[in-house]
Every structure is written in C-alpha cells, then in structure tokens.
Amino acid sequence: GLSRRETEVLVLLMQGYDTNAVAEKLFLSPHTGKSHSYHIYQKAGVNSRRELLEKRDGGEAGAPCPPTT
C-alpha cells in the first residue's frame, strides 16, 4: 500500500498538479516530490502521471487505482 505521504502526493497528482507543484504545496524538495511520485507509479504499475490518470479513469492503462483512503 501507499504511505501516508504517498497518499497525500497521490491526491494532488489526481487533482492535476505536476510533481513540482506537489512538492511546493507539501513543502517538500523537488527531489522528494519526484521520489514519492516514482514510488506511487511503481506501486500502481504505471510510468507517468498521464498513465496514472488514465488508470484512474479506466482508460487504456488498465483498471482503476487503489483507493486513497
């Protein structure tokens, strides 16, 4: 599953924020924001935010992502 911080990052990614904006909003370094995003992508089986959004929407990338709660 996702850590608490990864869940916070995921929520913002799902709202359309890019990794730099997520890092700024959560008071993280850009590197840490990208690291959390990378771990989320690995766990969701995707390679990009676009694929993550497609997966959420049931698009070509596959089944919906696990719930964030």
Concatenating the DSSP letter of every residue in the chain gives ---HHHHHHHHHHHTT--HHHHHHHTT--HHHHHHHHHHHHHHHT-SSHHHHHHHHTT-TT-SPPPP--
pLDDT along the chain (69 residues), means of 10: 95 93 97 95 93 83 49
How much is the pLDDT for 21?
96
Say what the pTM is: 0.78
